[in-house]
Amino acid sequence: FFAALGLLEDVGYMARIAYVMDRYMHWMGLHGKSCMPLLLGFGCNVPAILGTRIIEERRARLLTMMLTPFVPCTGRLAVLAFLTPAFFGAAAPWALVGLVGGNLAVLALVGVAVNRLVFKGERSAFIMEMPLYHLPNARTIGLYVWRNTLAFLRKAGTIIVVVSAGVWVLSNFPGAGPEESVLGVVGRALSPFFALMGLGDWRLIVALLSSFVAKENSVATLGVLFGAESGAAGPGLAEALAGLLVPAAAVAFLVVQMTFAPCVATVAAIRHETRSWRWTSVNLGLMLVLALLLGVIVYQVGSLFE
């Protein structure tokens, strides 16, 4: 992704993407400039939120910030890349494409709804200077890819190690077994509601909650919890997950994972850019409620066809 984005920026095509997408962005009350932060969101939602500064109009900037966390970042895509083969086997590529496409469809529908209900269907004007095309520079693109990939790995690696250690401690304290641990108690307390999505296993619930710190933590948390449950001689994580959920519940889990509350860094970025706890809370609440609602709907409807 970083290589493709770096190439588009280096040849001067990013501005033209904004121009081409302008007519479609108007459906959500936005203009072409909003497309650029949304594209950045596929790498990481935090710089995408900061990138909304290029949008002059406050209304369009706020709406873009509300939609950016719906863009599947590299953390979410990494979780999907690991879990879809475990749940769907040979059909994993189709499941991955369907989930990402569905995620983008949710983004568009939320944008249309928020624009109509909150911003009363207002439209934004779009004026942008087109840069000249020029040949790409391999060194510039290479540095862009290296810098962004290194930043992602450094952030992901640090957070995953810390959270994995915390999850291990909480899943073994006070020492009566994983189900009686702090995380086990929290997960089992929430399991009656999540059972509506087919997610009665407390370990899946804890994995979703841990994604609030960083999206890629879900897999690390599952690895720690299933390892604590099965021991060193137990089956691998992918094999353990393969028989854990029926297809409808697996899809519901991944839908919730994709649309769940944004990570804490994204929430902090939204608060910093909006300078408003109100808009930050609205964004957080909207994604949380919508994710849980979609999970219930997907499982209940999917169960009818099993």
Tokens of 274: 């909006």
Does some domain include residue 275? yes
Residue 130 located in a structural domain: no
Domain assignment of residue 117, yes or no: yes
Cα(205)–Cα(81) distance, integer angstroms: 19
Q: What is Dmax (Cα atoms) for the chain?
A: 66
> Distance (Å, rounded) from C-alpha 42 to C-alpha 121?
27
Q: In Å, what is the CA distance from 189 to each residue of 183, 193, 283?
A: 10, 9, 26
Domain presence at residue 200: yes
What amino acid is encoded at 29 in this protein?
A: G
Residues 6+ apart with CB under 8 A from 241: 83, 86, 87, 222, 226
* Stretch (H or E) spanning 134: none
Do 42 and 73 contact (CB within 8 A), yes or no?
yes
User: Tokens in use for 62?
Assistant: 């706020």
Asked if 274 and 65 touch (Cβ cutoff 8 Å), the reply is: yes
Residue 32: the pLDDT is 78
**H helices, E strands: number in the chain:** 15, 0
Q: Which domain holds residue 291?
A: 2-125+136-303
Instruction: Please tell me the distance from the alpha carbon of residue 287 to that of residue 190, in angstroms, as a whole number.
Output: 18
pLDDT at position 107 is 92
131 domain residue, yes or no: no
Q: How do the pLDDT tens digits run along the chain, 306 residues long?
A: 567 666 767 777 667 777 777 777 878 878 777 888 888 888 888 888 888 887 878 888 899 999 999 999 888 998 999 899 989 888 999 999 999 999 999 999 998 888 888 766 566 566 666 666 777 778 777 887 787 777 766 665 666 667 667 766 776 666 656 667 777 788 888 888 999 999 888 889 888 888 887 888 888 888 878 875 544 434 577 778 877 888 999 999 999 999 998 888 888 888 888 888 999 999 999 999 999 999 999 999 999 887
Terminal CA-to-CA distance of the chain, rounded, Å? 36
Residue 263 lies in a domain: yes
How many structural domains are present in the chain? 1
Q: What was the pLDDT predicted at 231?
A: 46
Within 13 Å of residue 247, how many CA atoms lie on the same side as its CB?
11
In a domain, 155, yes or no: yes
Which tokens in the block code for residue 131?
């840069």
Q: Give the residue from 77, 79, 1 showing the smallest Cα distance to 40.
A: 1
pTM: 0.81
Asked whether 306 and 247 are in contact (CB, 8 A), the reply is yes
Q: What is the pLDDT of residue 232?
A: 42
